[in-house]
Amino acid sequence: MKKYISINSYIVLLTCIFIGCKKTNTGGAVSGPDTTTIKPQVDPPVAGTIGFFLGDWEPRTYTPPASFTNTTVPAAAGVTVTIDRSNVLTKIPRSFAGNNSNLWMSQIVTESALMDHITTLHPHVIRFPGGSISDVFFWNADPNTPPADAPANLVQANGTTTAAGFWYGKNSADWTFSVENFYKLLQQSGNQGMITINYGYARYGKSNNPVAAAAHLAADWVRHDNGRTKYWEIGNENFGDWEAGYRINTADNKDAQPEYLTGQLYGQHFKIFADSMRKAAQQIGKTIYIGAVMSESAPQAWWTNTAKNWNSGLTTGAGNSPDFYIVHNYYTPYNLNSNADVVLNSALTVTTEMMNYVKQTITTAGLNIKPVILGEWNIFSTGSKQQVSHINGLHAVLVLGETLKKNFGMTARWDLANGWSNGDDHGMFNNGDEPDGVPKWNPRPAFYHMYYFQKLVGDRLVSAASTNTDILCYASSYTSGETGAILVSKAADTKTVEIKIDNFKKGARFIWYTLTGGGDNGEFSRKVIINGAGTNFAAGGPANYKTVSANAASTSNGIRVVLPAKSSVFLVVEKP
Could you tell me what percentage of the chain is helix, strand and coil, using 3-state DSSP and rounding each to the nearest 5?
25, 20, 50
Check whether 10 has a pLDDT greater than 60: no
Mean pLDDT throughout 146-154? Answer: 98
CA angle 24, 26, 29 (to 5 degrees): 70
Q: Which of 11-25, 255-269, 372-386 has the lowest mean pLDDT?
A: 11-25
Mean residue pLDDT of the chain comes to 94
Confidence bin at 69 (pLDDT 50/70/90): very high
Question: pLDDT of 333-356, one tens digit each?
Answer: 999 999 999 999 999 999 999 999
In the chain, what percentage of residues exceed pLDDT 90? 94
pLDDT at residue 105 in the model: 96
pTM, two decimals, is 0.93
320-331: string of b/e by CB count within 10 Å (b at 16+)?
Answer: ebbbbbbbbbbb
Mean pLDDT throughout 268-285? Answer: 98
Helix (H) or strand (E) holding 411, with range, is: strand 410-413
Rounded distance between C-alpha atoms, residue 506 and residue 26, angstroms: 10
pLDDT at residue 464 in the model: 98
More confidently predicted of 34 and 109 = 109
CATH code for the structural domain at 51-91+461-573: 2.60.40.1180
C-alpha distance across the termini of the chain, in Å: 34
List the chain domain ranges: 51-91+461-573, 124-322
For residue 517, give every residue at least 6 positions away whose Cβ sits within 8 Å of its Cβ, in sequence order, or none.
Answer: 389, 390, 391, 445, 523, 524, 525, 527, 528, 529, 566, 567
pLDDT at residue 37 in the model: 84
Check whether 19 has a pLDDT greater than 90: no
Confidence bin at 35 (pLDDT 50/70/90): low
Rounded distance between C-alpha atoms, residue 573 and residue 73, angstroms: 14
The DSSP code sequence of 79-121 is EEEEEEEEEEEEEPPTTTTEEE--TTS--STT-HHHHHHHHHH
Check whether 91 has a pLDDT greater than 70: yes
Question: pLDDT of 495-515, one tens digit each?
Answer: 999 999 999 999 999 999 999
For residue 362, give every residue at least 6 positions away whose Cβ sits within 8 Å of its Cβ, in sequence order, or none.
Answer: 315, 325, 368, 369, 370
Check whether 164 has a pLDDT greater than 60: yes
Rounded distance between C-alpha atoms, residue 174 and residue 451, angstroms: 28
Rounded distance between C-alpha atoms, residue 258 and residue 245, angstroms: 11
In the chain, what percentage of residues exceed pLDDT 70? 94
Question: pLDDT of 94-116, one tens digit each?
Answer: 999 999 999 999 999 999 999 99
